[in-house]
Structure 1
């Protein structure tokens, strides 16, 4: 038995959420929105926890 389901990590779900938000509010392509989403999450993750 093989399954074709992909295992999505919490990070993948966060990227998808940000990507969906970007594409719903701009004219960027999915690839460009995903690249921007990764940069946005990296920037947010670099903020110290106590400042968030």
Structure 2
């Protein structure tokens, strides 16, 4: 059996999740919410870990 699905990276799934949250809670269009989602994820991914 073969699988004909399309690969979607975890990053792309995260962007779509943030984009949906932004659109559900604002009047942002697709392009603007996507661009903002990319910036939000970049910021979240670069929060420094607490020093021990």
Shorter-chain TM-score category?
Answer: 0.7 to 0.9
TM normalised by structure 2 equals 0.81
Give RMSD over aligned pairs: 1.9
Q: Which has the higher helix share?
A: 1
Higher Rg: 2
CA distance in 2, matches of 1:49, 1:13: 23
TM normalised by structure 1 equals 0.81
- 1:42 matched to 2:34? The reply is no
Task: Provide the aligned length of Structure 1 versus Structure 2.
Answer: 50
- Structure 2 regions of 5+ residues with no counterpart? none
Dislocated runs of 4+, deviation >6 Å = none
Match of 1:9 in 2: 9
CA distance in 1, matches of 2:16, 2:49: 22
